[in-house]
Amino acid sequence: MTDAQLIEKFLAGEISSFNTLVWRWEKRIFNFIFRYMGDYEISKDVCQKVFIKVYKNLKHLKSRDKFQSWIYQISANLCKDELKSMKRRASLSIDTIQENNSEGNYNLVEQDRGQPDENLNNVELQELIKRALQEIPEEQRVVIIMKEYQGLKFVEIAETLGEPLNTVKSRMYYGLNALRKVFDRWNITKEVLRYEM
């Protein structure tokens, strides 16, 4: 059954169809949010907010076949809002500022890692990539996540974000370049990762 059919059934009063829709999208949306936010628990909260918003507003979605771009739009907006409020909260608390001092965190990463070609296990790698994504501007990050992990086409990303196609491609390009610089700084190369190429 397609998403559009599930939506129709849900709007006709069948709640189980909505739960099927949630089950189908939950993991994808959560991982999108997790890569955007970089925090597991916060991402869970935001993910719940996304589905609650979807539940409440699905009746207003005119084109049923636009569900994918609509749900990503909601997710991206909620992530943006959440980051904004987190920054606002952090600026109110000196303690929080000290705790979230990004420079300190990454120095710690570099200190912990020591030699780049030694002991880089999968858990560390996951953490480093996640942190690297937090290093680049949000507008580039969202495009990279949608392209690299969600597998959206550039046209779909442009539609979701409401940006011109060329803008999306150039954000992708500059985002990849920015990430490369972060990886270079942390000495993460394909050789270190022992790619099978």
- State which of residues 53, 61, 73, 154 lies at the interface with other proteins (CB under 8 A): 154
CB of 49 to other proteins, least distance (A): 11
By CB under 8 A, residue 87 contacts other proteins: no
Please, what's the b/e burial string for 46-75 (b: 16 or more CB within 10 A of its CB; e: otherwise)? bbebbbeebeeebeebeebeebbbbbbebb
Smallest separation, CB 63 to other proteins (Å): 22
Q: What is the CA radius of gyration of the chain?
A: 19
Tell whether residue 79 is a contact of other proteins (CB under 8 A). Answer: no
Q: How far is CA 179 from CA 21, 32, 129, 136, 173, in A?
A: 34, 17, 9, 7, 10
Q: Which of 22, 61, 86, 90: binder of other proteins (CB under 8 A)?
A: 22
Interface with other proteins (CB under 8 A) = 15, 18-19, 22, 26-27, 30-31, 34-35, 40, 43-44, 47-48, 51, 55, 125-126, 129-130, 144, 147-149, 153-154, 166, 169-170, 172-173, 176-177, 179-180, 183, 188-190, 193, 195, 197
